[in-house]
């Protein structure tokens, strides 16, 4: 028995399985294209900010603006989904990402740092729509396969994320051929990928899955909350718990992951080892997500979150015990990715199931907003913490967040069992 609340209807409407399969194919295709664009520009943003500003100290602003852009755009895109459906919302997100990439290229030509950072913020739409895509996979999903369907979209990100960085050299050749400044070619590839993604969403999501779900009026064992994600957070304890699980899990992952390259290079690790460590970490985040989706459906949402937090705890203890051992740090980063995957897949499913269908888009957008802000905060705090207590101390500090999530997930599991 799973810990997620059952739907009132257990029999799917005629043709819904075939339609859900089509929706998953469209979303996965768009996610691959979006991931390709993000992957192709992953390292270029920091390099371009350094090039335009003339200061490597400002390079971190690229990731910061991307994250803030994703957070700021999460709720508008969710509200657009509520009003116009997933097709229009995801297409619009892709168009904003295209605008962001074009602003970045223009800023590089003009040598304008403010314009460049504005473009980085707009390009955060690519992250926002990728996050919304995983929720779109749940609109028509059956309760018994909801986590698995969500996890398949998370998994599809792996393809673009792996292929994208390998386009760095070809993108530079393209940029030079067009007479563009250094480090801008990857943003042309990102624009092309998002154009294709927007086309896939606009043409493929017919009929719109969210509009169908709203029309069917699917409900769960919770009283409808007030409109808007923050209203749901105030009135529905299960929604607060689910959002907290996703947000703190993301903060732990970002904090430790962002400081790992700094720690490794300061202890003599080669750039190849740093790259391998981060690559395996990203593989841990995405490659096994369908396994955790299956576990969340079969074993339970809260149980899978607890599994993810146990994996986090082992990873952080390894950073404490083996901070000077590169092999142990590598192992810890892989486990960190796996813990994030289990917690995010199951936690995101809990977000969706915590409120009725009419309140879901608002809560999902709020969840993505809080998730991105907590990730940015985790990354910002990690630097000073690393300076004060070192990499081993960093792991111990963020064990506190793991403990909080563990308590919340255990309470969710207990409350659900009492209800059932």
Residue 279's pLDDT is what? 77
Q: What is the dihedral of CA 211, 123, 251, 263, to 10 degrees?
A: 150
d(CA 279, CA 271): 12
Average pLDDT over residues 189-199: 92
Q: What are φ and ψ of residue 11, in 5° steps?
A: -100, 120
| pLDDT above 50 (res 10) | no
Contacts of 417 (CB under 8 A, 6+ apart): 3
Residues 81 and 366 sit within 8 Å (Cβ to Cβ): no
Model pLDDT, residue 197: 94
> For the residues 371-378, what does the mean pLDDT come to?
89
pLDDT digits (tens, 9 = 90+) for 72-81: 999 999 999 9
- 294: enclosing H helix or E strand: helix 289-298
Q: What angle do CA 266, 381, 67 make, to 5 degrees?
A: 100
**CATH classification code of 9-218:** 1.20.1250.20
| pLDDT (0 to 100) of residue 139 | 93
Enumerate the CATH 1.20.1250.20 domain ranges in the chain, comma separated.
9-218, 225-420
pLDDT of residue 271: 67
Confidence (pLDDT) at 4? 44
Check if the beta carbon of residue 212 is closer than 8 Å to that of residue 87. Answer: no
| Residue whose entry in the numeric block shows the structure tokens 């409407």 | 13
Could you tell me what percent of the chain has a pLDDT over 70?
90
Q: Which CATH superfamily is domain 225-420 in?
A: MFS general substrate transporter like domains (1.20.1250.20)
pLDDT of 299 reads: 93
Average pLDDT, the chain: 87
**In the structure, what pLDDT confidence band is assigned to residue 379 with cuts at 50, 70 and 90?**
confident
Q: Which of 33, 17, 16 is nearest to 200 (CA)?
A: 33
pLDDT value of residue 418: 59
**Res. 295 pLDDT band, cuts 50 70 90:** very high
**244: pLDDT strictly greater than 90:** yes
Residue pLDDT, tens place only, 323-352 = 888 899 999 999 999 999 999 999 999 999
**212-231: average pLDDT:** 65
Please state the rounded mean pLDDT for residues 271-281: 78
What mean pLDDT is predicted for residues 8-29? 77
Pick the range with the lowest mean pLDDT from 39-43, 209-213, 366-370, 392-396.
39-43
Give the pLDDT score at 5. Answer: 45
Tokens coding 45: 């943003």
| Helix ranges restricted to H, 8-85 | 16-40, 44-53, 61-84
**CA distances in angstroms from 411 to 25, 148, 288, 341, listed in the order given:** 36, 23, 26, 21
Per-residue pLDDT, averaged over 158-172, amounts to 75
The DSSP symbol for 137 reads T
The answer, yes or no, to whether residue 8 has pLDDT greater than 70, is no
Least Cα distance to 362 among 129, 78, 164, 42 occurs for 78
Q: Residue 41 has what pLDDT?
A: 72
Tokens of 191: 């624009």
4 or 302, greater pLDDT: 302
d(CA 335, CA 316): 9
Counting beta carbons within 10 angstroms of the beta carbon of residue 235, is it exposed (0 to 12), middle (13 to 18) or buried (19 or more)?
A: middle
Query: Measured between alpha carbons, how far is 94 from 64 in angstroms, rounded to an integer?
Result: 20
Mean pLDDT of 286-305: 94
**Tens-place pLDDT, residues 92-108:** 999 999 999 999 999 99
In the numeric block, which tokens belong to residue 324? Answer: 């000077």
51 vs 175: CA distance, rounded Å: 15
Kindly give, in sequence order, each residue whose CB lies less than 8 Å from that of residue 229, ignoring residues fewer than 6 positions away: 75, 78, 359, 362, 363, 364, 365, 366, 367, 369
pLDDT tens by residue, 40-78: 676 678 778 888 888 776 777 787 888 889 999 999 999
DSSP state of 7: P
Contact yes or no for 353/222 (Cβ under 8 A): no
Asked if pLDDT for residue 2 goes beyond 60, the answer is: no
pLDDT recorded at residue 223: 44
Residues contacting residue 355 through CB under 8 Å, at least 6 positions apart:
220, 222, 224, 225, 232, 236, 238, 239, 363
Q: Percent of the chain at pLDDT above 90?
A: 54
pLDDT value at 222 more than 50: no
């Amino acid at each position: 028995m799973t810990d997620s609340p059952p739907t009132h209807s257990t029999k799917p409407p005629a043709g819904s399985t075939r339609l859900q399969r089509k929706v998953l194919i469209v979303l996965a295709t768009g996610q691959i294209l979006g991931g390709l664009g993000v992957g192709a520009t992953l390292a270029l943003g920091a390099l371009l900010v350094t090039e335009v500003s003339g200061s490597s100290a400002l390079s971190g602003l690229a990731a910061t603006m991307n994250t803030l852009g994703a957070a700021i755009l999460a709720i508008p895109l969710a509200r657009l989904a509520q009003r116009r459906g997933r097709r229009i919302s995801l297409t619009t997100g892709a168009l904003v990402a295209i605008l962001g990439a074009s602003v970045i290229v223009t800023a590089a030509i003009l040598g304008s740092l403010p314009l460049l950072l504005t473009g980085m913020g707009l390009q955060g739409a690519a992250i926002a729509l990728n996050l919304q895509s995983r929720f779109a996979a749940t609109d028509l999903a059956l309760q018994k396969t909801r986590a698995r369907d969500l996890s398949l979209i998370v998994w599809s990100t792996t393809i673009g994320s792996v292929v994208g960085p390998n386009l760095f050299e070809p993108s530079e050749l393209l940029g030079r051929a067009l007479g563009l400044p250094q480090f801008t070619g990857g943003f042309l590839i990102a624009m092309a990928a998002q154009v294709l993604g927007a086309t896939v969403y606009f043409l493929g999501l017919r009929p719109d899955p969210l509009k169908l779900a709203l029309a069917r009026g699917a409900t769960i064992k919770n009283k409808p909350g007030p409109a808007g994600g923050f209203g749901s957070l105030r009135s529905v304890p299960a929604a607060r718990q689910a959002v907290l699980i996703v947000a703190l899990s993301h903060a732990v992952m970002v904090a430790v992951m962002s400081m790992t390259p700094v720690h490794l290079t300061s202890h003599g690790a080669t750039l190849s080892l740093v790259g391998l460590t981060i690559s395996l970490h990203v593989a841990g985040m995405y490659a096994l997500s369908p396994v955790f989706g299956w576990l969340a459906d079969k074993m339970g949402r809260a149980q899978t979150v607890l599994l993810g937090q146990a994996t986090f705890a082992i990873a952080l203890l390894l950073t404490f015990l083996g901070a000077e051992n590169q092999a142990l740090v590598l192992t810890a980063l892989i486990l960190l990715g796996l813990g994030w995957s289990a917690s995010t897949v199951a936690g995101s499913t809990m977000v969706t199931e915590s409120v009725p269908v009419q309140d879901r888009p608002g809560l999902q957008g709020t969840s993505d907003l809080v998730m991105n802000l907590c990730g940015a905060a985790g990354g910002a705090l990690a630097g000073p913490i690393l300076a004060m207590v070192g990499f081993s101390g960093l792991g111990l500090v963020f064990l506190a967040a793991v403990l909080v999530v563990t308590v919340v997930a255990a309470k969710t599991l207990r409350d659900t069992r009492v209800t059932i």
